[in-house]
Amino acid sequence: MNLLSLHPALRTLTSDYNCLKRQVQEFPFMLEKAIGEAKQEICQVISDVSSTNEELLRKYKREMNLRKKCHNELVRLKGNIRVFCRVRPVSQEEQDSADSKTMLSFDSEDDAVLYLCNKGKTMTFDLDKVFAPHATQEEVFQEVQSLVTSCIDGFNVCIFAYGQTGSGKTFTMEGVLDNPGINQRALRLLFSEVTDKLDWDYKSPSAWWRSTTRCCGTFWGKTPPISWTLS
């Protein structure tokens, strides 16, 4: 091959080389520019998302306050002090005894009235609600579960059972292993509601009292009552 024919090829190669060299020199600036533009786009998207979030949070808080107001109004209308009566099933022993002559009856029209017929005399009791013997633990709990919401809203709430021995206080409040009572159901609901609100800070000093003529103490130890924070 002759040297003269190589000359144009060398010129082309030199020009390609210079072009590539320029591109390589410009590459860092191009890269920096591209990164800068991408950053700007990302910042814009983040700012859009955060302003949407702020808006949603504002609406959520407004709705929460509205819900709280409505709930409190409902609780106030229902009455801050409510008395329920739960009639437990008659035991075999009672069926055979003279006490079985004492008869309880219910009003099919009004679930807040209870009639007690004893020795020919009928007494009427007006309560907030009467639970018949077939009422389940779930039904009883449903009637008080709104108090858990009040508790989360910061109100002091107290639920207690009162009655003579064997009337069903422990069954209603503690329940049995496969059919828990109000205590367990309320705590389960309380913890699940609170866990759902992870953006909230909760401190729940709670005490669970079992008070009879014989014993008096907190369920979770004497002092201090349980305290926990979620953030």
Contact positions vs ligand ATP (CB under 6 A)? 88-89, 163, 165-171
Q: What is the DSSP code (8-state) at residue 80?
A: S
Binding to Mg ion, residues 161-190 (CB under 5 A): 169-170
Q: How far is the CB of 170 from Mg ion (least distance, A)?
A: 3
Does 203 belong to an annotated binding site? no
Q: Of the two residues 82 and 88, which places its CB atom closer to ligand ATP in the complex?
A: 88
Number of residues counted as binding Mg ion (CB under 5 A): 2
Instruction: Give the angle subtended at the CA of 160 by the CAs of 154 and 165, to the nearest 5°.
Output: 170
Residues near 113 by beta carbon (within 8 Å), at least 6 away in sequence? 106, 107, 124, 125, 126, 127, 130
Is 170 marked within a binding site? yes
Residue whose CB is less far from ligand ATP, 24 or 177: 177
> Which residue is nearest to ligand ATP, using beta carbons?
168
Q: Give the shortest CB-179-to-Mg ion separation in angstroms.
A: 15
Establish whether 169 is an annotated binding residue: yes
Q: Which of 137, 149, 165, 17 is nearest to 72 (CA)?
A: 149
Q: Is 163 annotated as a binding residue?
A: yes
d(CA 224, CA 207): 9
Q: Among the residues of the chain, which ranges form H helices?
A: 3-78, 92-96, 137-144, 146-152, 169-173, 182-196
Q: Is 167 annotated as a binding residue?
A: yes
CB 160 within 8 A of CB 147: no
- Answer with the entry of Mg ion, ligand ATP, none that 106 interacts with (C-beta below 5 to 8 A by kind): none
Binding positions are 163-170
Instruction: Note the residues at the interface with Mg ion (CB under 5 A).
Output: 169-170
Q: Which residues fall in the annotated binding site for ATP?
A: 163-170
